[in-house]
A = this chain, B = another copy of it.
C-alpha cells in the first residue's frame, strides 16, 4: 500500500482544522444560529469546497436582529485542480525555478487551502483572518495517464488581526501565540513573516496597515527562499514544512478565542459602532483593491464569487473627511498611530 500523498494529508488536516475552528465558535455562543455548511463543486473543472458560514438573517418585522457574538464569519475550504496557463507559470518561476517553461505549455496544478475571516459584532472585538494553503505543479500528463510527477510544490499562509479599538494586550497575545508556534521551527520565521505581514496588508492610498498584523508567508518549499537565510535553521523538507503549517494552523484558536472572550460582552456606544463600520470600510478597500487572492479570484472565470467575497463585512461605512480618528489622543487615534507605524508586539511582551 502506498503512503498517503501530501495532497491527501493536507486536505485531511484542513478539514479537521475547519471543524475545530467552527466548533470553537459554536461552543462560545450556543444560542446563535449554527454555521451553515455548504458544499460546492466547480462546474466544468476539477474542484470542490466546503464553506462554513455564519450570518444572522435580518429580521423582517423591523425588530432588532439577534445579538450574536459574531456578526459575519466564513471558514472555507477549497480543493481545486486544473491546468495552469503559460503566463501564470512564467510568474511562478520567479520563486520556483524547478517548473519547466517553454512559453506555450500549460501544466496541471493542484491547490488546497483553508481561508477564514471572522467579524465579531462588538466594536471592541477585533476581526481576524487566517489562510493556509498548499500548491502543486505537475509535469504534463501523458494521454490517459493517471498521476504525473510533481515538479514544484509549496506552502503559504498566515494570520492577522484587525481591531477597531486597540488593546495592547490583545495584540501582544495574538503575536506571542504565533511567535511561539513559529519558534519551534526556527528563530527567523516569526520576525521575517511578521514583517512580510505588515508589508502585505498595507492600504497604500491610506498609508496605513489593515490591522496590527500577524504572519504572512508564501513559497515555503525545499527551494531557496527569497526572504529566509540559507544558513539558519528553518523547516526544509516537506515533512518539516507541513509540521510548521500545522503548528501555526493549530495556534489559530488559542491566538484568537481568548481575545474574543474578553471583548465580546464589553459595553459599547453608537459612536464606537460607527468607528467599527468606518474601519470595516477600510477592510473592504484593502480586500477589493489590493488583496492578491481576491483579485486573482475575481478574474478567474469559473471562480465561486460568494466564497471569495465572504471576507467582506456585513456592513461597512464611508464618511467624507470623517473626524473620527484624527485626534491622536482619542481611542480611535491610538489605533491609527500603530497602523501608520507597525509595532513589535511580541518584542514588547518580552520586555
For the complex, what is the distance from the CA of A321 to the CA of B53, rounded to whole Å?
10
Beyond A284-B288, A289-B298, whether A320 also contacts B277 by CB under 8 A is no
Q: Which chain B residues border A295 with CB–CB below 8 Å?
A: 289
The chain B residue with its CB closest to the CB of A270 is B62
Q: Check: A147 CB closer than 8 A to any chain B CB.
A: no
Q: Check: A55 CB closer than 8 A to any chain B CB.
A: yes
Contact A317 B314 (CB under 8 A): yes
For the complex, what is the distance from the CA of A72 to the CA of B281, rounded to whole Å?
15
Contact B314 A309 (CB under 8 A): no
| Residue from B58, B206, B284, B305 within 8 A of A305 (CB atoms) | B206
Chain copies in complex: 2
Q: Number of residues in A with C-beta < 8 Å to the partner?
A: 42
Q: Check: A315 CB closer than 8 A to any chain B CB.
A: yes
Contact B58 A274 (CB under 8 A): yes
Contact A298 B60 (CB under 8 A): no
Q: Which chain B residues border A281 with CB–CB below 8 Å?
A: 312
Q: Check: A139 CB closer than 8 A to any chain B CB.
A: no
The 5 A-B residue pairs with the shortest CB-CB distance, nearest first, are A288-B288, A312-B318, A205-B298, A53-B320, A310-B320
Please list 19 pairs of residues, one from A and one from B, whose beta carbons are closer than 8 Å in the complex, sorted by A's number.
A36-B320, A38-B321, A53-B321, A58-B271, A59-B270, A60-B270, A60-B271, A205-B305, A277-B315, A281-B312, A284-B288, A284-B316, A285-B309, A310-B320, A313-B318, A314-B318, A314-B319, A316-B316, A316-B318
Residue numbers of A with Cβ under 8 A of B are 36, 38, 51, 53, 55, 58-60, 62, 72, 74, 204-206, 270-271, 274, 277, 281, 284-285, 288-289, 295, 298-299, 303, 305-306, 308-310, 312-321
